């Protein structure tokens, strides 16, 4: 029995060596054109997000300044203090009415004087008209003839005087109307001496010494303020999506870049890093977060979702075109041209040329030939011994011969 086993083993070894020598030495032998690829990677359907990180602080999105009207000084009283919450219509301060009241009093005195002058002119006109009527009534024919010439002269003068007085009355009445309009305007200003807030927010500054601005109001809408490096500033654009995270509150928020400054935050210096301010608005406010909260800011520069993705290292370039080595369905190694998409953090989007679950060579530098069958190493760690033990001697010999003689 032992002799039979020894003979079988010797025959097997001779057959194995002989067949392989034949395959190697045969003209146009396929054995000489088999590619050996050790590692393969499968194309995944994944997301690629190009982004960068910075820091930010939560601050009021806008600040509104209230200035003193030079024509209304001084301020009589303030109705708010620093830290007060205000809304549209909330009284902030009231100007003193003393100056306006004095001006109004002067106009009223001027109007009274005008009214006296108008009354005097009207009385004079009445007297002239009365006298005019009296000389127009004849007493007798003799008197009429005697006084004809004198009467004509007198009537003409009276008519001229009446006309002159009526012009004066009209002028004085127009002046009175003008003064009435000025008094009405002053009354309106006196009734509007209280300045109210036009926005909702918090009083952050109040200058009772009347320095401008006299009041500053920070809006209730909070946003993010931060700094970008030169490289980050070049990539950033207004409207880009940002993801915000508060380490203290363990919360994640989303927003977008609102403004990007073109001038550095600090005075440019050759030995100092140049940084540029930016602001971002929140998509939805969060009442728990307070102004001054520190945030981690992630700016999303670009993203591709649910696309074929491979590692960058699997690509190689020839004549300004990009390729990978792909394993075909028939087991052959093919050089496959691909169109690149978004690249970030070692991941490459493939827009054309590959699909999900395709196999590509992990390292294209290890591939020496193409358009040939592929062999890969036997990973013994993946062989299940219980499955091998279940094979009969006939099946074992069959699979060994298939492995030697295939192709």
Residue range 169-194: mean pLDDT, rounded: 87
For residue 400, what pLDDT is reported? 53
For residue 302, what pLDDT is reported? 95
Residue 69 pLDDT more than 60?
yes
For residue 155, what pLDDT is reported? 75
Selection from 14-23, 113-122, 276-285 with the highest mean pLDDT: 276-285
Q: Residue 288: which residues within 8 A CB-CB, separation 6 or more?
A: 249, 251
Residue 142 pLDDT more than 50?
no
Least confident of 177-186, 204-213, 373-382: 373-382
Mean residue pLDDT across the chain: 81
Q: Which of 336, 406, 339, 340 is nearest to 370 (CA)?
A: 336
Of residues 334 and 99, the one with the higher pLDDT is 334
Residue range 322-346: mean pLDDT, rounded: 91
Q: Are 305 and 47 in contact (CB under 8 A)?
A: yes
Least confident of 31-40, 66-75, 110-119, 236-245: 31-40
For residue 275, what pLDDT is reported? 96
Of residues 96 and 47, the one with the higher pLDDT is 47
45 token code pair: 């359907």
What distances in angstroms separate CA 182 from CA 113, 118, 402, one per listed residue?
16, 19, 114
276 token code pair: 């540029």
How far apart are the C-alpha atoms of 209 and 61, rounded to whole Å?
27
pLDDT-based confidence at 390, cuts 50/70/90? low
Q: Which of 246, 263, 265 is nearest to 254 (CA)?
A: 246
Q: 269, exposed or middle or buried, with CB in 10 Å at 0-12, 13-18, 19+? A: exposed
Residue range 194-220: mean pLDDT, rounded: 88
pLDDT-based confidence at 98, cuts 50/70/90? confident
How far apart are the C-alpha atoms of 307 and 45, rounded to whole Å?
5
Q: Which neighbouring-strand residues pair with 300?
A: 51
Q: Residue 345: which residues within 8 A CB-CB, separation 6 or more?
A: none
Can you say how many angstroms the Cα of residue 397 is from the centroid of all Cα atoms in its chain? 72
CA angle 383, 389, 394 (to 5 degrees): 110
CA angle 367, 372, 375 (to 5 degrees): 70
272 token code pair: 């100092």
Q: Are 66 and 326 in contact (CB under 8 A)?
A: no
Q: 223, exposed or middle or buried, with CB in 10 Å at 0-12, 13-18, 19+? A: buried
Q: Which of 108, 110, 102, 112 is nearest to 190 (CA)?
A: 102
Residue 60 pLDDT more than 80?
yes
Q: Residue 166: which residues within 8 A CB-CB, separation 6 or more?
A: 125
Residue 82 pLDDT more than 60?
yes
Q: Which neighbouring-strand residues pair with 403?
A: none
For residue 406, what pLDDT is reported? 43
For residue 402, what pLDDT is reported? 43
For residue 407, what pLDDT is reported? 43
Least confident of 3-17, 100-114, 325-339: 3-17
Residue range 16-24: mean pLDDT, rounded: 55
For residue 405, what pLDDT is reported? 42
Q: Which spans in 136-216 are helix H?
A: 141-146, 148-191
Residue 224 pLDDT more than 50?
yes
| pLDDT digit string, tens, across residues 241-265 | 999 998 888 889 999 999 999 999 9
Can you say how many angstroms the Cα of residue 19 is from the centroid of all Cα atoms in its chain? 72
Residue 403 pLDDT more than 80?
no
Of residues 309 and 31, the one with the higher pLDDT is 309
Residue 116 pLDDT more than 60?
yes
Report the Cα–Cα distance between both ends of the chain, in Å, rounded: 35
pLDDT-based confidence at 372, cuts 50/70/90? low
Instruction: Specify the DSSP class assigned to residue 240.
Output: -
- Give the strand pairing for 85-86 and 294-311: unpaired
For residue 401, what pLDDT is reported? 47
Three-state secondary structure call for residue 83: coil
Q: Residue 227: which residues within 8 A CB-CB, separation 6 or more?
A: 54, 55, 265, 275, 276, 277, 278
Angle between helices 98-135 and 148-191 (to 10 degrees): 160
């Amino acid at each position: 029995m032992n002799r039979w086993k020894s003979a079988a083993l010797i025959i097997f070894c001779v057959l194995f060596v002989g067949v392989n020598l034949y395959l190697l030495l045969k003209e146009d032998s396929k054995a000489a054109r088999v590619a050996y690829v050790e590692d393969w990677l499968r194309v995944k359907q994944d997301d690629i997000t190009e982004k960068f990180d910075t820091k930010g602080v939560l601050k009021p999105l806008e600040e509104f300044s209230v200035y003193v009207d030079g024509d209304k000084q001084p301020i009589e009283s303030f109705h708010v203090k620093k830290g007060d919450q205000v809304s549209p219509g909330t009284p902030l301060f009231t100007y003193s009415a003393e100056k306006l009241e004095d001006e109004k009093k002067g106009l009223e005195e001027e109007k009274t004087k005008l009214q006296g002058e108008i009354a005097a002119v009207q009385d004079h006109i009445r007297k002239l008209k009365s006298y005019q009527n009296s000389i127009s009534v004849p007493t007798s024919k003799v008197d009429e003839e005697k006084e004809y010439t004198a009467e004509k002269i007198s009537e003409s003068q009276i008519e001229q005087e009446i006309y002159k007085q009526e012009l004066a009355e009209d002028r004085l009445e127009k002046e009175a109307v003008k003064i009435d309009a000025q008094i009405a305007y002053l009354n309106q200003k006196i009734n509007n001496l209280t300045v109210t807030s036009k926005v909702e927010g918090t009083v952050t500054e109040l200058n009772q010494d009347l320095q401008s601005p006299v009041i500053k109001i920070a809006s209730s809408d909070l946003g993010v303020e931060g700094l970008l490096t030169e490289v980050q500033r070049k990539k950033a654009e207004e409207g880009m999506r940002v993801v915000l995270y508060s380490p203290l509150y363990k919360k994640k928020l989303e927003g977008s870049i609102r403004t990007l400054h073109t001038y550095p935050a600090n005075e440019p210096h050759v030995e100092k890093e140049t940084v540029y301010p930016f602001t971002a608005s929140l998509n939805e406010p969060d009442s728990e977060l307070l102004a001054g909260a520190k945030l981690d800011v992630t700016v999303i520069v670009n993203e591709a979702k649910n696309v074929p993705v491979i590692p960058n290292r699997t690509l190689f370039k020839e004549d300004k075109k990009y390729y990978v080595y792909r394993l075909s369905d028939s087991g052959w190694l093919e050089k496959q041209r691909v169109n690149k998409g978004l690249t970030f953090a070692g991941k490459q989007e493939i827009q054309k040329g590959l699909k999900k679950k395709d196999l590509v060579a992990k390292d294209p530098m290890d591939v020496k030939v193409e358009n040939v069958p592929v062999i890969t190493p036997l990973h013994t760690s993946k062989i299940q011994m219980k499955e091998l033990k279940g094979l009969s001697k006939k099946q074992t010999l069959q699979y060994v011969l298939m492995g030697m003689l295939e192709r």
